[in-house]
Amino acid sequence: MYAFLMFIHVVVCLFLVVVVLLQPGRGGIGPSMGGGGQQVFGGGGAGNVLTKATTAFAVVFMFTSISLAYLSSSGSNELKTRAEERKKVRAESLGVTQKPAEETKPVSPGGAN
């Protein structure tokens, strides 16, 4: 499931980049610098289709992002237990054993007990 969502996420990211780059400029600093006089697609009809495609891809992008984040965080406990098990196996193979911590008495500020 995770691999499938990751694949969809990457494909949607690529399409989102392409759709955003195909959109005509909306003004900004372009016209003041001498650009922006050309329209690649002609009228506003192509911009409307690209705007709707951008919205659709953005919604799918957000959904896959949230889903991937949830799947990643829900598996973290399993990964922690696996890491602890591997750590124990490694320690046992090296012959390292953990002994319980010894109790220490609190020392008073004056140094006398």
CA distance 81 to 99: 21
- pLDDT above 70 covers a percentage of the chain that reads 65
Q: What is the pLDDT of residue 72?
A: 82
The reported pTM is 0.52
- 8 Å CB contact between 56 and 40: no
Token pair 């500020």 is found at: 109
Residue ranges covered by each domain of the chain? 2-25+45-91
What does 71-113 look like in DSSP terms, one character per residue?
HHHHTHHHHHHHHHHHHHHHHHHHT--PPPPPP-PPPPTTS--
- 8 Å CB contact between 13 and 62: no
* Tens digit of each residue's pLDDT (9 = 90 or more) over 95-111: 766 666 667 777 777 76
Structure tokens at 18: 């392409």
